[in-house]
Amino acid sequence: MSKKALVVVSFGTTYPDARRAIEQLENTLRAAFPDHDFFRAFTSGMVIRKIAREEGVTIPTPEELMEQLAAAGYDEVLCQSLHVIFGQEYEKLLAQLAPYRTRFRRLAVGKPLLWDTPDYLALTRTLLARMPRLAEDEAFVYMGHGTEHRANAAYALVENSFRYAGAERVYVATVEGFPHFDYVTARLHRRQVEKVYLAPLMIVAGDHAQNDLAGEDDESWKSRLQAEGYQVETILTGLGELPAVGAQFVAHARAAE
């Protein structure tokens, strides 16, 4: 009988509460593939080491887990990425898995959350359905991670998808790429906005959400907006906590190659 493994791979987070978003996605995928044995892997060595040091929990890298599965006699492996975009972390995952294609009868890898146009439209529909109805002097700002990788263009496409849906005061900026924070503040000034909702466009509401977005220090987005006179409300919900996002990942896993 064939031994099948479901491997769910994420960057990971050192925040136990934020990790619930990953666990919710894992549980959704496990329910969708009940004939597969479930396994978890993280791609961030820093996160893996900190969890081991502070929590005594060992989480393997994708490569370590592939070795374990091969030794255990698995012949079919379905690996689903929980990355948001097809950036450096996703490409790193593909490179890590490539040598194992010949070690299993089948090794399939599911695409990240945002891969093609229907993914962007589906995500913006999901987010708009949860968003408060904005008054004329209110705006909603999402924080993405950002990257130097060409996949950074995904964030502009998310914002354009909001425009396509008629949401004119929903903006997307990033911590480590473009559009950056100044892009958002310029839009807020032009729209004469008085209140801003802030939320992460990330799988987990981890370090960036807790500190760069909603932190109390002067450099957080919340503090910088408050210093300019805006009312600010933060919504610290990771994308992984949304059932519709889980459904998108299941669809990618079913189409995995």
Active-site positions read 145
11 and 89 in contact (C-beta within 8 Å)?
A: yes
Three-state helix/strand/coil letters over 188-250: HHHHCCCEEEEEECCCCCCHHHHHHHCCCCCCCHHHHHHHCCCEEEECCCCHHHCHHHHHHHH
- Cis peptide leading into residue 62 (ω within 30°): no
Give me the amino acid identity at 257: E
CA distance 95 to 88: 10
CA distance 26 to 24: 5
Across the beta sheet with 37-42, what order do the strands follow?
A: 37-42, 4-10, 76-81, 106-110
Q: What are the backbone dihedrals phi and psi of residue 139, each rounded to the nearest 5 degrees, phi first?
A: -145, 160
Nearest one of 174, 231, 177, 166 to 202, comparing CA atoms: 174
